[in-house]
Structure 1
């Protein structure tokens, strides 16, 4: 955050006509039950993974609860007053949001057995037994509603700062995408269907006042990931690792039409 603040400050000193922002990975936390204990667990997860960045960068304040927790575990970073002030004074013009999957949590049921501190001291990660899951991405939960919830959170708690979806994508593996059809197009309909569901929620959020101005789908071409190499595919175009050949996917044609017409018809 200090490097970010210095970059914003340097940009402002140039007195350019453009805008500057920051991209954050926002992952809403959801409970398994409506119990107070589970809700408290979700609050802790949100504090560590979302508010720890959003609050200082957008609201210009460090979350008091987070500072108290980190101090209690002897994990509070040492920051000079000047550096802290610089972080909190760096105004951004917009926010970029990366979103892929929701986070499910529950109150701790087992004893925390690590000899060092992690956020999971205050909650346990969970799996929603009634959830939908992506069989091509480690059975991660599919929850388009999360897009609406992110938008509502920014609208209600962060001054409705303007923002855009900097990354959103649907992972598939090569086998599940299949081979090109007679028209030469790879038919990744599963990806299109899920993207539609997420964008319907974004459209609903905009209708309810969210200040979102754009969407970038991840990504142009299948690329290497530091987590799983080329196992998870996101591209509009397939990359053949042996020949270097590029093959277009139906998602690319769908997104091109979406961008051209600025919308699509859906019954969702």
Structure 2
């Protein structure tokens, strides 16, 4: 019996992949010369979660890639752990054991007919650079560019590169929401400065890649979280405009316009003023952005949820739901807005809105507002669930996940039919994995992992993925 519901087929040649990130899947954080990231000591001191063994992808990647092929995937998103290559982030000589590992991984991908799409940075700055200011220290961007150049020249088998994953999520989680180290809350100066500095670092790497004349493609990944006013009240419309500038428009402008529009900076400057914050744009920064803007070959858009916003004038405060205890999250940003729920819009146990219309709106917006944006890939989208371990040969029924993905694929294909150049989809995530501030109870994978034994179990969503993949043959 067919599992297909809304979406009956995929376009020919569609990229149909699974997404991972090095620190969330590899484990083996202390082997083969790997250096510490910003997470290692932090997680140990916190005592809640360990990144080892995660999904043990460091050792079990052949098994996961074989499963990927069996269930119809033709692509995978992986990231290179910077500290496997340069353990302190700054070395002149690379760690050859780390280099050899990624050569083995990429070879296995290609041998299985799985095209690797590779990110250089996915929330895992080297500990030494983190202690020296992370992205707030402009010197660290020099080290990032050097690391990128090494990877481009070394891993010639990779033809699809992303520089940095989710620039806003890193800055927001570190300095606004406070659930990533160094756990600052509403440090607005750092939150906006980190975004800008990351964006300049991205642009420098794109410009370098093009100067090297390499045969592949390069881009970056933004998570887009469309912001809607909760109603038509003027103050709520304005609040949504401010929140959108901070979460989306500032980075989209810098990436694809090569400058920050007057409209965007009006909103950003209002946020800065209301929070006694400032942004420093150095001489030459905008030249770097302008050079890179038309040179991004593709855009990775991550999408999980939208926000509904109403005006808020009080002091900033928030509560992060990292446990799946539904209804425990809150977010109030001084002078900007308060996140609220809308009747009729379902939410996950982690209080994330389930709103596929937001993905359609985001695709249409980027295509309309940013002509320099060429091909778009949805590089992450998926549903985190609490799931019990299945019986020995049981297929885990995750119908909620299938329904969620189905609705979002339908939104993607509708935008595509209306002319948006979206050419692929990577589900988050390929397999269950370590989920940062959420630990291990938030499962996203097509494949269930018993983290104690590392046994893989098939979920119903993997069967659904395979059935849709077969429509491209």
Instruction: Please tell me the TM-score bracket, short chain as reference.
Output: 0.7 to 0.9
The separation in 1 between residues aligned to 2:391 and 2:301, in whole angstroms, is 32
TM-score calculated relative to the size of structure 2: 0.51
Check 1:180–1:208 CA distance in 2 against 1; reply closer, same or farther (3 A cut). Answer: farther
Per the alignment, residue 184 of structure 1 pairs with 394
Q: Deviations over 1:164-206 (max 9, x none)?
A: 100001111123xx6359x631111111011111111111111
Per the alignment, residue 158 of structure 2 pairs with none
Q: Deviations over 1:15-63 (max 9, x none)?
A: 1122111100100011221222221111111111000100010111113
Deviation at 1:95, TM superposition (A): 0.8
The separation in 2 between residues aligned to 1:216 and 1:22, in whole angstroms, is 15
Q: Does 1:9 align with 2:222?
A: no
The separation in 2 between residues aligned to 1:114 and 1:200, in whole angstroms, is 37
Structure 2 unaligned regions, length at least 5: 1-198, 318-331
The separation in 1 between residues aligned to 2:367 and 2:398, in whole angstroms, is 33
Check 1:36–1:26 CA distance in 2 against 1; reply closer, same or farther (3 A cut). Answer: same
**Pairing of 1:165-244 with structure 2 (within 5 A):** 165-175=378-388, 179-180=390-391, 184-244=394-454
Per the alignment, residue 346 of structure 2 pairs with 132
DSSP-derived class of the 1:20 partner: strand
Whether the 8 Å contact between 1:154 and 1:161 is mirrored in structure 2 is no
The separation in 1 between residues aligned to 2:411 and 2:433, in whole angstroms, is 27
Structure 1 unaligned regions, length at least 5: 264-268
Q: 2:258 aligns with which of 60, 67, 73?
A: 60
Check 1:86–1:236 CA distance in 2 against 1; reply closer, same or farther (3 A cut). Answer: same
Per the alignment, residue 158 of structure 1 pairs with 370
Check 1:23–1:114 CA distance in 2 against 1; reply closer, same or farther (3 A cut). Answer: closer
The separation in 2 between residues aligned to 1:213 and 1:59, in whole angstroms, is 22
Per the alignment, residue 244 of structure 2 pairs with 46
Check 1:89–1:75 CA distance in 2 against 1; reply closer, same or farther (3 A cut). Answer: farther
Per the alignment, residue 35 of structure 1 pairs with 233
DSSP-derived class of the 1:227 partner: helix
The separation in 2 between residues aligned to 1:76 and 1:253, in whole angstroms, is 50
Cα RMSD (Å) = 2.1
Whether the 8 Å contact between 1:96 and 1:166 is mirrored in structure 2 is yes
DSSP-derived class of the 1:133 partner: coil
Q: Deviations over 1:209-232 (max 9, x none)?
A: 111111000111100011211111
DSSP-derived class of the 1:61 partner: coil
Whether the 8 Å contact between 1:101 and 1:140 is mirrored in structure 2 is yes
- How many correspondences in the alignment? 254
Q: 1:69 aligns with which of 270, 274, 279?
A: 270
Per the alignment, residue 360 of structure 2 pairs with 148
Deviation at 1:247, TM superposition (A): 0.4
Deviation at 1:77, TM superposition (A): 2.4
Between 28-37 and 215-224, the greater mean CA deviation after superposition: 28-37
Whether the 8 Å contact between 1:67 and 1:76 is mirrored in structure 2 is no
Deviation at 1:70, TM superposition (A): 5.4
Check 1:70–1:34 CA distance in 2 against 1; reply closer, same or farther (3 A cut). Answer: closer
TM-score calculated relative to the size of structure 1: 0.87
Check 1:119–1:18 CA distance in 2 against 1; reply closer, same or farther (3 A cut). Answer: farther
The separation in 1 between residues aligned to 2:466 and 2:439, in whole angstroms, is 27
DSSP-derived class of the 2:217 partner: coil
The separation in 2 between residues aligned to 1:190 and 1:34, in whole angstroms, is 32
Whether the 8 Å contact between 1:180 and 1:187 is mirrored in structure 2 is no
Check 1:156–1:120 CA distance in 2 against 1; reply closer, same or farther (3 A cut). Answer: farther
The separation in 1 between residues aligned to 2:252 and 2:351, in whole angstroms, is 28
